[in-house]
Amino acid sequence: MTKQKAADEVFCRSCGEAIKQASELCPNCGVRNDNYSRGGGTAGDVHDPSRYETSVSDTWWYGVAAGTGIWVLLVLAAAASSDLGAAGGLLVLIGWVGLPLSVYFDIQYVRANSEWDPNVGVWVVLSALWFVNIVAGAAYLYRRHQVLGEP
């Protein structure tokens, strides 16, 4: 049996019936349509910056940049086996607390002022992990630049 479908139809993954792409469930067997598309324009899971209000300043990215810089410095120092002594301990403390903190506050600003809605938990954890935080910090600032045009 040859199955035919129109341009706006897809085949049901369960029963193989041709069903409208716009239908969420297959009318024949009731299984969810994998190719279901809402046809765009519907809100819902689209990030809406106006849902967020924040009085956080837009300068937290300086902290993100400085924190990332500190970690680069620490990694370079570790690679060179140079002992930074007490200063090194202080830098670790500043980097470890400062970077995730800056990321946390900056995200409040970013999601209220751009279409980007960063996942707070993920970014804070990434910015607290050794080595990973250098990449995360750079990626964060790059993405921030894309959506906000700054820094």
Note whether 21 binds Zn ion by CB under 5 A.
Answer: no
Minimum Å gap between C-beta 101 and Zn ion is 51
Do residues 68 and 134 lie in contact, with contact meaning Cβ atoms separated by under 8 Å? yes
Rule CB under 5 A: which of 22-61 touch Zn ion?
A: 26, 28-29
Do residues 130 and 139 lie in contact, with contact meaning Cβ atoms separated by under 8 Å? no
Q: Which is nearer to Zn ion, 33 or 108 (CB)?
A: 33
Do residues 19 and 27 lie in contact, with contact meaning Cβ atoms separated by under 8 Å? yes
Strand, coil or helix: 4: coil
Phi and psi at 4, nearest 5°, equal -125, 145
Note whether 15 binds Zn ion by CB under 5 A.
Answer: yes
Minimum Å gap between C-beta 8 and Zn ion is 17
Note whether 93 binds Zn ion by CB under 5 A.
Answer: no
User: Which parts of this chain interact with Zn ion (CB under 5 A)?
Assistant: 12, 14-15, 17, 26, 28-29
